Structure 1
Amino acid sequence: MFKTVERPDAPAAIRMDIGAIFVSLELSRSTWLLTSVSPGAGEKMSQHATPAGDLRQLFECLAELKRKAMARTGKTYPIIVIQEAGLDGFWIHRALEREGIESHVVDAASIAVPRRRRRAKTDRIDGKTLLRTLMAFKRGEPRVCAMAKPPSVEEEDRRRLGRERKTLIAERVERVNRIKGLLFTQGAIDYQPLRRDRRARLEALRTGIGDPLPARLKGLISRELDRLELLLAQIKAVEAERDALLAEQSRQAPAAAAMLLAFKGIGPEFATVLWLEGLFRSFANRRQVAAYAGLAPTPWRSGSIACEQGASKAGNPRLRATLIELAWLWRRHQPKSALTLWFEDRVKANGGRIKKTLLVALARKLLVALWKYVTTGLVIEGAVMKTA
């Protein structure tokens, strides 16, 4: 005989007990869309819009959700909020935590979405997806998403030094190329704008046929030099502030940046970027370190298909670019280290092919080795240290 099972009034996922008020924030430049689910409301999602940047209305809306849940159930419930990491940074997250509200910032790329060729995408749909992701995360579902770990205000502010310098260097290259390009049209190809005597050499400069430079072209280049000299002064000021920060950090314990400077081939800029962009954080294992820099491997295996897709590139792009550059220089300055010897052996075994691919692998190994060095003091085998 078959046993009759009574059909529940609602699906199990809907009938679950909700012990908090879950809220997702879909942020845009004009409006903030709040999607919420509260106890005693039939576990239905409700949505409210507030003007972007208006914290007062946001907190009023959250307080109203709390009041309605209290009126329905006679109990007070905590509020848990989720938002995507994006243009707004972490200031909303900090404002919520300052009010005693549990807040989470999620990596939007880690949330599963339908893989149809055409799928609907609106703020309302995204808000509901965020809310379901938050509820699954609080239920303890493994790997449902990747939550970001927001840096402190001090940590975030320190990183601006290296990022500002990189922006200024790119602007300097643009100005130098602009000046050289203008002079190249006149046949003057030996002018170096970065030399200290650039003004005097501009006055004495001649075209390719020996004529003086046209007056308006000379005026244009003079104004370009004004911009260039301003950039050089700003770069010098940023580097002085960076060196002061390194000197201050070297007096603290553990002095991660000072430890990195001990290696031959790692200067103040490399040490600053490695420290401020990655190694100031705490990691549980080497896989987390590689994943944070976007250097973790991404295998593709299904049935008889097995191939590697290369580095994930899902981490910090500034840290990853610096490590690739450092890997090239590491081979030059540390030719007897175990990492360099491993790289050379692999290149030789592959007949000189896939050199760039192996360099990415070297960058990943180098990052893990430097992380072990600053956390445990384990020196890279065969590495040469700077003399005092």
Structure 2
Amino acid sequence: MRWMIALLMLTGIGMLPSMHAADAPAITVSQAPFGKLPDGHEVTLYTLKSPTMVVKIMDYGALVTELHTPDSKGKLGDVVLGFDNLEGYLKGHPYFGATIGRVANRVGNATFQLNGKTYKLAANNGKHSLHGGEKGFDKVLWKGTMSQANGNASVKFTYLSKDGEEGYPGNLQVAVTYTLTAKNELQIDYVATTDQDTPVNLTHHSYFNLAGHASGNVLKQAIRIDADQYTPGDETLVPTGKLAPVKETPLDLTSATPIGKNIGQLTGEPGGYDHNYVLRRTDKKLAEVAEVTDPESGRVLKVLTTEPGLQFYTGNFLDGTVKGKGGAVYAKHQAFCLEPQHYPDSINQPTFPSIVLKPGKTYEQTTVYAFSAK
């Protein structure tokens, strides 16, 4: 009997290996070097991995570089635009996969007033400030911490945006946590606190293509956004402060509609969707607000958020000059962005929901990108 037990242990048959398998987490998190910044600081790439999904995120920009999810046949494919190495991101890019802040979207005339004081920001988008300025949260090095709990795996990124950074008041402590769940969800939780009144509007800026990042345009992919209104803007995409109905316009996406069906009706350069949708919601609870389906791969993306707005952008400024992963050429309309956030230029629009964070209060929001296939 003793020799049989010994044989079972040596050959790996029996209870001990099965106990190890049971103890092994279904979702893992790991890290590896991803190059160095010009100042010598090392950049780390974190990998969240489940049996059905892989997400890679680096601490420079708290930025998603890869997101692999299965199609209807179970084949994994990378569905976000990006680069193979750090150098690609350092050369400049249109916010691929990045965490955006301190204030996402546009601040009109790169100026705002708060508590009787005028603040001047960097004008990095014509005369306006865009996505946090010249060196927004997408261009800083965050501190990453890995964790595993409740069958999920996470990376928490933290950053202190000091008083006066990019013209904004107050020391802002920010935490962004990416969690991969067993439900094929990438959940992003944001938390921020400040020691002075300051505007805060954070979001995520992945460029999605459900057929695969190198598969061509997304015009056949169908989108639904649960919004009856949007915030119209001027020719520079800064809101007028009014809300307008989407009904009987090319912006009506209240039922599943191929992205390319009405995109030609959107006039102005460079053409395409780049609009903030006013979501149907009466509270700040996490709720589904949008869905995109790719008829070829069968992949489905659902977006859930606690935010009041959703910016829908169709890669209008991609022009074929950007070469991404594997040498892929990213052309116009090769991807879409779904960015949950407060409305653009809210700090200058008194009728919009406020984005001012005060000392003693906590900024909190959650976004979930849920993937499936049919």
Query: TM-score, normalised on structure 1?
Result: 0.22
Task: Name whichever structure is richer in strand by fraction.
Answer: 2
